[in-house]
Each structure stands twice: as C-alpha cells, then as structure tokens.
A and B are shown apart, each in its own frame.
Chain A
C-alpha cells in the first residue's frame, strides 16, 4: 500500500512537471544584434537566463551550465511573430452560426502539428492560432508559443497573453450563411453590419442586466433572480469592456470602414484588421481611430475582393501611421516571414527597422504582448532567431531558433529524416500533400471546416 502511494505521488509529481514550461539559459556570443527598438549593435552578446533576456552587451560571461552559441558573422533578432495562423489547430471554423463567440481555439490545440516545427525552423516563435472566417463574429483565438516537443496543449498557450477573437466581413460570412449557404442573415455586407450591431447591442443589455443584479443582490430586501448565464454574451460583454482584442478578417475598404464606425459607436478601441487588402484605401481613417492592420506582403487576385489590391499596402499603411504587421495565414508562408517583410522594401522602400518591425514588435502590439516579446531588451522573453546573412536578404538562412532560452531549432543538427525510428527497408509511399493543389489557389486555411456548407467543389474553396 505504501509503495502504491509513493508511485501515485511520483506520478502526480511527474504529470505536474509535464505542464511546466521549460526555460533555459543561453549565451549568444558576438553577433550583429538587431534589437528592433534600440538599434543595431555590432559584435554584441545576448544573455538569456532562465528564459528571459538578462543582458545585452559586450564580452558577457556565460553563467555555469549555460549553452553558448557563437554567432560571429550572424545576425541575431527577436523571434518572429505571426499574427495570423492556423497552425496547431484541430478545428478552424465553427461554421454553424453567424455569431460563435462562445467557442475558443484554446480548446483544440494540437501540440504534435509538425507545421509548428517547420515554422520554428523559419524563425517563428509565436503565432496567433485563429478561428476561421466563416462567421461575422467567429470564435476566440489563442496566442501560442511554438514550444514544439511538448505533448501538453496547455504548454503551448502563451501565459498572460490577452484574449482575442476573430471577426469576418464580406464574402466568407455571406456565402457560408446567406443564400448560397445556410440561407440565413447575413447574405450581404448590410447583413454583416446588422449581425455585429445586434450582437453588440444584446451583449450590452446582457452586461447591464448583470451589472444591475450584481450591484443590488447584496442590498437588504433584494428579491430578484440572477440573469441567465450565456457564454456567447459573456464573450461579447468582455469585448465591450475592452478585455478582448478584435482581429477582423476583411478585404474591402467599405467593410473596414463599416466596422470602424460600429466599434466607435460601441466604444470599442482594441481593433486589428486582418488581411485588410484594401486597408491602404482607408489608411487615414484607420490611423485616426488607432486601429491596426495585419496584411499579406503580396497576395492578391485569388478572389474578387482582392482584385483591386496592391503589394504596396504595408508601406502605404505604415507611412500613414497605422501599426502594421505582415502575417502568413499559411503553413508554408509562415516559414519565410522575414522574406515577406523584405518585400516592403521593394514595394514602398521601408527601412530595415520598419520592415523588421512588421514581423516582430508590431504583431506583438496587435496581440497585446509587446511588453513581453517583439524586441531584444533585458527583461523580455528569451525568444531569439539567429540568421546566416541579413534576415531581409533573399539568401538569409535561419540557423538557430531559441524559445524561452531553449534552443528549439539548430540547422546543423537537424536530421535529414525526421522519423524517430527509421527502418531503412521500409518503403512509404504516402506523400503529405495532394500534388494537384500545387496548381490551385488554396494557399491558406481560413475556410477549413466550412467547406461542407458551400455549394462549391473542394477545389474551389478559398480563403
């Protein structure tokens, strides 16, 4: 019996440990350090202690037990942040209702998604695991750290990151729910505005009825019952209180402008537009309201909504004072966001610092985690990527990726065959990708799990 108790205690201890985030100590020596917020520092060391950046300077001494990386001739920059991703998700769309604020991507994280490892190999340390764009008000999203190697979904969640939610405007919600889909509102952009205003109004009433109840329930002689609990409305109320950042799938200028007005009417300030291909057309309005934009570097013309767009979008938005990031929305594209950021130098002449901000400090601001990550400063998380070559060069190669002071990717040690146990005689003919998709235009996964609602063939689904 005693033995049994000891084993049980050990098991509990082990399972408790498994949920712990691994934090390491590493000294990165003699690199060209691109801090993003505090300039470029040549021949400089970065010391990460127990997962946090403790010092940036010259000739730093390695603490006992620290891993040392010689970064001579290499560029050292903060881990790249992807503000729009569907990596490590088991499901993307709860496409059964135009307002699905009650669902949360944190409930279906898949820590075994190899896409996460490939993103790490491209220097991406954090991604915004988003709900899809099937609904006007979609599900809540989860900011994750790419702590690949864990089997515990909870370990992926970035502790302390603010809550976020996906909204969607235009073609996707209207074709999922309108006449070509479920046959309910919204069928048009008018309907999308109505669905959002209605949800906000109901959420406001819900919040007020709870406020009223909470204020009076302890008063002497109070006899009322509490209002009915509604998770969907709880979420809307949290948006109205400013506790959840809206990340809204959008393309056309008019729909972007619509949501700006709706949010203004309801006093909502934390608003980020996603894709926002025509954001450049309403850049002054976005800037005036402090709304932010997360865009593709050059994707366009894959659907009608993005036919009148331009690769100069990020540069126009930046020059007009909009906090802008470059995202991927795609398991392949996320692996070279540094290259996507560099395209803003070709299309609009952004400086190195402006271009690199698009994939570091700016997405951090959009996710509300800029005090933790997005630049190399003492006190921030030890998330670092080390490049051979300048990260904005087409010839740049990520060599190491460090998350919380733990080396998660080392190109020199990366195995050619990633199987744990390789039987050389075994022949495997399963290829991962459907090759025909090479020639289709379905780059991303924004409409995943919603195909069944659409009267189109698989090959015609798109973002």
Chain B
C-alpha cells in the first residue's frame, strides 16, 4: 500500500513538473562529434565546442571534457553560430491586428527618442516560437513616420530588456519616397513632386537642427541646452557614434539617398530594405554602405519585373560587391529567416554567402562581431545545433544556446502538438 502511495506521489510530482514551463540552464556544456561550420574559420569535422560562463571557450578536435561539464553527443549533427535577423518587430507586437498589443508605432513624425528596447516584452509567446528554430538574435525596430524611433539588437532570452540587449542601437529613418506608390496612389505628378520636396526639406531641417544642437551641447559641455528629447536622440547620429538605419526601397529613392548621404558627409549609415537594390547595385557597391534586405520571400516591386526578382535581389547585390545581410521584416514568423536565406542561396547568392548574411555579416554591420556571428573562442555562446543543413525546410534544430544558456526546446507550437496529436478524450468522452 505504502509503495502504491509512493508511486502515486511520484506520478503527481511528475505531472506538476510537466505543467511548469521549463527553464533555461546555465553551466559548462561540451558539444562533441559534430560538424562545425564556424562561418569565419572553415568547417571542422568531428569537432568539439565547449561553452562555459556564457562564452565559447574551446573549438577544435578535443575529446576530453572539463570536470562537471555536461557532455552532449552531437554525432550526425551540425553546429552553427546563432542566427541573426537584421530587421523585425519581435517583442514589440503580440497579436498583429490588435492595437492593444502593438507597441511599435508611436505618434509623431520625428520621434527618434522612442526606444524599441523599452517596449520589448521578454515574455512574448512569440519569442520561444522563434528561438527554437535557431534564430537567437534579432534587430527589433519601431515603424511609422520619418523618424519612428530607435531600434535595438536583442538576444531571444532573458527576463528584462536589459538581459536581452546586445550592444547595438540604431536610429530608424524612413527616407522620403519620390515615386508613385502603385495603382492606389492617385496623386498627380506635381503633387508627388511637391510632397517629396517637402519631405526632403523636413529631413534636412531635422539634421540641421541636430547639428546646431550638437554644437551647443559640445560648446557648453551639455549644460547649456534645454530638454529636447528628439535632438538628444540625434546627438549620437550627428557625432557618428550611433548608426542611422536608413529605410529606402525604390531604385530612384536609393540613388537620391546615396546622394543625400554624400552631401551630408554621413559615415555611420546602414541601408535597409533596398527592395530594388538590384537595379542600382553598382551604385550601392560604389557608395560602400552595408545593406540589410528582406523579406526574400516577396513579390517583385513592379508588375513587369521578372517573377523571381525578390528572391534574386540579395545575390545580385552581393555579386555587385555590396555587403548584404538578410531580414524577415516579420514578427510572429521571424522563425522563417533561414528559409529566406535558403531561397536567396538558391536564386544566386549561394549557400556560403547566404549563411554569412544571417550570421557574421549582420554581426559586423551592428558592430558586434567580437561577440556574435561565428563559432570562435571568446565569443558569446549563441549556438545552434541542427540535424542537417539548417536552411533545408525539414531540418530540425535540436539544441539552442543563447548567451551561454541552454534553451528549453519548447514553445506554444510544440506544446499544442504534444497535447493534440492524440487528443484524449477523442470523439467519445466516456471511452478513450
């Protein structure tokens, strides 16, 4: 009888443990027998990666493990650096159509002081869904008017925004559009011209004012300036310390933007979008600014363009000599980043460059390549283990480490699968 009681207790305890969400685990992990694609230093067969104190402490052929380490046999598995999405709204919006859950679009045309990082919800259900598919780090950006706010780079693990933050912020600027925006745009040519001139004037006014503010601030050592949050947020931009994430898409607008950057003598600029980058790829390459483009799985921007132009765009820009990183521009389906990379690879970019475009290239663009983007000793332990080519659709990600934490491989999607694959009760409640 006592024995039965113990068994019952044991079962109850098991059920209770199952009902809780599993936690991340910190420690020393030794991943052995894997094929390691380091991204920056070639591929290692039958290799070992050791993770300790949040860092990668060893990459090579060793077979012995430090004492107390947890050894994970990765035979037949592949190891990659955590994948980086160069542009998302993850954490800022929970249910797309419900304004009450959307914190990505503040009111105002010039509000660079609005901080995406502030509004990141670390407990968003969308985050585990994303990271179990291998995306460990994303740029999350506000949307809206000309200066909608400041984007931030975050790791997809942590209980406060600060625990997630990875040392990069950029001021988002939507470059004025000069063309007609499709059939719905009923403005006359003159109206379009006037509107774009007005917008350019506004853009320049903001920058002129920011330069003035910077001069005052410098001359008075920050003591002579009144509270002016927009300009304060622009200080870093004017001083070249903070990147401008310049969103621009149509070919003509890209050329205008390049001219404007040159006139303004701006250096710390990242071009984002560049949906028609392939049309002006040589100009982009010559200007030398990096590009974050995507989604790759998109329609061509014009009716008469070849059907696969969006798939081919990253490869065409890369071939012309542009530094290209990829983004999904997604929220709930940032997990499809690797499929975007797969399509870019198939349509001209090639697998090697596509792999870089979701690892080391975004790390370099965001100035965090000392921490992220490759499997190298000393880097932050953002590591993904897969059972095949991670771009292939059917490949499963089997382990994820973020900042040294072993991530539980569960999400709402896996939990619902476990509950409903064989639902109990089935059709008939009284008999299973």
Stretch from A23-31, A40-48, A156-164, A392-400 at the B interface: A392-400
Evaluate contact between A394 and B297: CB separation under 8 angstroms.
no
- Bound form: Cα–Cα A332–B300 in Å: 9
Evaluate contact between A121 and B308: CB separation under 8 angstroms.
yes
Nearest-Cβ distance from residue B190 to partner chain A, whole angstroms = 14
Evaluate contact between B332 and A302: CB separation under 8 angstroms.
yes
- Bound form: Cα–Cα A319–B126 in Å: 26
Q: Which residue of B lies closest to A309 (CB)?
A: B416
Classify the secondary structure of B's interface with A.
loop
Evaluate contact between A431 and B179: CB separation under 8 angstroms.
yes
Evaluate contact between A394 and B299: CB separation under 8 angstroms.
no
Which residues of B291-326 have CB atoms within 8 Å of chain A's CB atoms?
Answer: 295, 297-308
Known contacts A303-B97, A310-B417; is-contact A428 B302 (Cβ 8 Å) = yes
Q: Which residue of A lies closest to B300 (CB)?
A: A432
- A301, A336, A348 — most chain B CB neighbours (10 Å): A301
Within 8 Å of chain B (Cβ to Cβ): is A429? yes
Interface size on A, residues (CB 8 A): 67
Which residues of A266-323 have CB atoms within 8 Å of chain B's CB atoms?
Answer: 280-281, 283-285, 288, 298-304, 307-312, 315-316, 319-320
Nearest-Cβ distance from residue A351 to partner chain B, whole angstroms = 11
Q: How large is the interface on B (under 10, 10 to 19, 20 to 34, 35 or more residues)?
A: 35 or more
Nearest-Cβ distance from residue A450 to partner chain B, whole angstroms = 14
Within 8 Å of chain A (Cβ to Cβ): is B400? no
Q: Which residue of A lies closest to B327 (CB)?
A: A438
- Bound form: Cα–Cα A429–B280 in Å: 14
Within 8 Å of chain B (Cβ to Cβ): is A346? yes
Which residues of A326-381 have CB atoms within 8 Å of chain B's CB atoms?
Answer: 331-332, 335-336, 339, 342-343, 345-348
Evaluate contact between A346 and B394: CB separation under 8 angstroms.
yes
- Bound form: Cα–Cα A434–B416 in Å: 36
Taking a contact as CB atoms closer than 8 A, the residue among B89, B273, B307 that contacts A121 in the complex is B307
Cβ of A335: which chain B residues have Cβ within 8 Å of it? 307
Evaluate contact between B99 and A460: CB separation under 8 angstroms.
yes
Which residues of B226-251 have CB atoms within 8 Å of chain A's CB atoms?
Answer: 249-250
Stretch from B33-41, B214-222, B259-267, B339-347 at the A interface: B339-347
Evaluate contact between A418 and B420: CB separation under 8 angstroms.
no
Evaluate contact between A435 and B275: CB separation under 8 angstroms.
yes
Within 8 Å of chain A (Cβ to Cβ): is B5? no
Cβ of A320: which chain B residues have Cβ within 8 Å of it? 423
Stretch from B42-50, B58-66, B180-188 at the A interface: B180-188
Within 8 Å of chain B (Cβ to Cβ): is A200? no
Cβ of B308: which chain A residues have Cβ within 8 Å of it? 121
Within 8 Å of chain B (Cβ to Cβ): is A13? no
- Bound form: Cα–Cα A311–B414 in Å: 8
Within 8 Å of chain A (Cβ to Cβ): is B333? yes
Evaluate contact between A438 and B427: CB separation under 8 angstroms.
no
- Bound form: Cα–Cα A35–B179 in Å: 48
- Bound form: Cα–Cα A83–B165 in Å: 43
Binary CB contact string for chain A from 101 to 127 against chain B (1 if under 8 A, 0 otherwise): 000000000000010011001100000
The 10 closest A-B pairs by CB, nearest first: A394-B342, A429-B179, A441-B96, A345-B394, A342-B393, A301-B332, A312-B417, A302-B96, A310-B416, A303-B97
Binding site for B on A (CB under 8 A): 114, 117-118, 121-122, 280-281, 283-285, 288, 298-304, 307-312, 315-316, 319-320, 331-332, 335-336, 339, 342-343, 345-348, 389, 392-397, 414-419, 427-436, 438-439, 441, 460, 462
| Besides A415-B306, A431-B180, A462-B97, 13 other A-B contacts (C-beta < 8 A) | A118-B300, A283-B420, A301-B125, A308-B412, A331-B299, A394-B346, A416-B306, A428-B302, A429-B252, A431-B249, A432-B183, A433-B299, A436-B143
Binding site for A on B (CB under 8 A): 89, 94-99, 125-126, 143, 177-185, 249-250, 252, 273, 275-276, 295, 297-308, 329, 331-333, 335-336, 339, 342-343, 345-347, 391-396, 412-414, 416-417, 420-421, 423, 426-427
Listed by A's residue number, 12 A-B pairs whose Cβ atoms lie within 8 Å are A114-B303, A284-B427, A300-B333, A310-B412, A335-B307, A348-B417, A394-B343, A429-B178, A430-B180, A431-B179, A431-B180, A462-B97
